[in-house]
């Protein structure tokens, strides 16, 4: 991975983290308040297939399906709302019928087939963009960032009581806001 790819992915992750509050807040009461959108069964099934529940909540329980349309509207990972419809057709073709009518175990198999085909050389599929968004959404959610992952602000040794002499300033570890 080169520096530009790393910066692009870090920027995408920062944007994903910034969009979470808007996705989870829903509409605020007011003259233009709207009801929260109905859950999308396709996105919920895809989230369950990509990151299922284990001893930690999976992508569905972390709220990723509600966040995905917002991320697609903002074009994160190059995705768009049209990718949702395209993915539905791809999954129906892999399932040999209605993807959503299958039991969860067969849905996972259909997702695995689409995944294998999508990453083949020269393939054109909505799957890589949707999968990227699911991963971004999950690992920037509270469940993904605090229960699935471990967090240590500064890896290595921690010295809680370091003397600061006259004329010295404290160190900042707020690296995320430097790009904004």
CA distances from 51 to 7, 64, 90, 130, 176 (A): 25, 10, 19, 13, 26
Residue 136 to residue 24: CA distance in whole angstroms: 15
What local confidence, expressed as pLDDT, does residue 179 receive?
A: 47
Write down the domain spans for the chain.
38-145
What local confidence, expressed as pLDDT, does residue 180 receive?
A: 37
Percent of the chain with pLDDT over 90: 51
Query: Can you tell me the mean pLDDT for 92-104?
Result: 95
| pLDDT tens-digit readout, 25-39 | 554 555 555 556 678
């Amino acid at each position: 991975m080169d520096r530009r790819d790393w910066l692009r992915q870090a920027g995408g992750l920062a944007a994903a983290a910034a969009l979470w509050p808007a996705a989870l807040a829903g509409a605020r009461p007011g003259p233009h308040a709207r009801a929260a959108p109905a859950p999308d069964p396709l996105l919920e099934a895809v989230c369950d297939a990509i990151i299922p529940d284990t001893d930690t909540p999976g992508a569905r329980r972390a709220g990723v399906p509600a966040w995905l349309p917002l991320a697609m509207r903002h074009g994160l990972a190059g995705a768009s709302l049209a990718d949702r419809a395209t993915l539905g057709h791809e999954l129906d073709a892999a399932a040999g019928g209605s993807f959503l009518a299958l039991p969860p175990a067969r849905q996972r198999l259909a997702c695995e087939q689409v995944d294998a085909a999508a990453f083949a050389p020269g393939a054109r599929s909505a799957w890589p963009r949707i999968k990227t968004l699911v991963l971004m959404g999950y690992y920037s959610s509270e469940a993904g960032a605090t229960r699935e992952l471990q967090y240590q602000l500064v890896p290595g040794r921690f010295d809680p009581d370091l003397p600061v002499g006259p004329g010295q300033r404290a160190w900042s570890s707020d690296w995320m806001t430097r790009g904004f």
